[in-house]
Homo-oligomer: A and B are copies of this chain.
Amino acid sequence: MLTQAELVDYSGHCSARRDGGSFFINSGASIRSILTAEDIVAIDFDGSLLDGTAKPPVEFPLHAEIYRARPDVRVVMHTHPRWSTLLTMVGVPFRPVFPQGSLLGDVPVLDSPMSVNTRDMGARVAGALGSGPAVLLKSHGAVVVAADMVECFALAIYLEENACRQYMAMQIGSPYVLSAAEQEACRGRLGTPSLYRKAWDHYRVKLGRQNPN
């Protein structure tokens, strides 16, 4: 839970499955605050409060409908990353252009810029996500899912780094997309708990430097 708090503070709202019918999620507290145990609540898939007193975010259905549709998912992150979102604004598909991007593959896009604050919108996000690790929301943001927090964080970082490189390269030409064989080889080599942990550790140190207190 402490670990979760650290991550959530970094970017947007994040949730962790509690059991078959409920999950923990941070309240609508601002990104600047130091999250405490009080900011995290447990709710069921209809948003009813099971534990805690803070108000769940209005976009809780994004998380709920993914947990409902994907029993394998234990962590859901929803962020508003700059470069990934720019790709969706112009209809350019996300493609793996550096090795770590292979872990995401070709990421689908939900064709709506609106807030995911209803069960119907949540179900559309879950549908667009399918069985993959990520889905982009047009002109809005990104959703990444995984079996644990460290992997989910690493994938969210790789998603944005790949999108940044794709955007930058597009300004001067057409970026090389890794071949199916190259992607397959990269997934085998890079998709390991120890490398996800390395990315996590790298960013913890980096963020700790930028925000020493």
Q: Could you list which residues of chain A lie within 8 angstroms of chain B, going by C-beta atoms?
A: 30, 32, 82, 85-92, 97-99, 113-115, 138-140, 165, 167-176, 178, 182, 185-186, 189, 198, 201-202, 205-206, 209
Q: List 23 A-B contacts (CB under 8 A).
A: A32-B202, A32-B206, A32-B209, A86-B169, A86-B172, A88-B176, A89-B165, A89-B175, A89-B176, A90-B172, A90-B173, A90-B175, A90-B176, A91-B176, A98-B139, A98-B140, A99-B113, A114-B185, A115-B189, A139-B176, A167-B171, A170-B172, A171-B171
A98 touches B86 (CB 8 A): no
A92 and B171 form a contact (CB under 8 A): no
- Which residues of the other chain, B, contact A85 by a CB distance below 8 angstroms? 165
A87 to B92, CA, bound (A): 20
Smallest CB separation, A144 vs chain B (Å): 20
> Smallest distance from the beta carbon of A140 to chain B beta carbons, Å?
8
> How distant is the Cα of A173 from the Cα of B139 in the complex, in angstroms?
13
- Contact in complex: B99, A115 (CB < 8 Å): yes
Q: Are B92 and A173 in contact (CB under 8 A)?
A: yes
Establish whether residues A98 and B113, one from each chain, have CB atoms under 8 Å apart when the complex forms: yes
Q: Quick one: given A113-B99, A185-B114, are A172 and B171 in contact (CB under 8 Å)?
A: yes
B88, B140, B173, B186: which contacts A91 (Cβ < 8 A)? B173
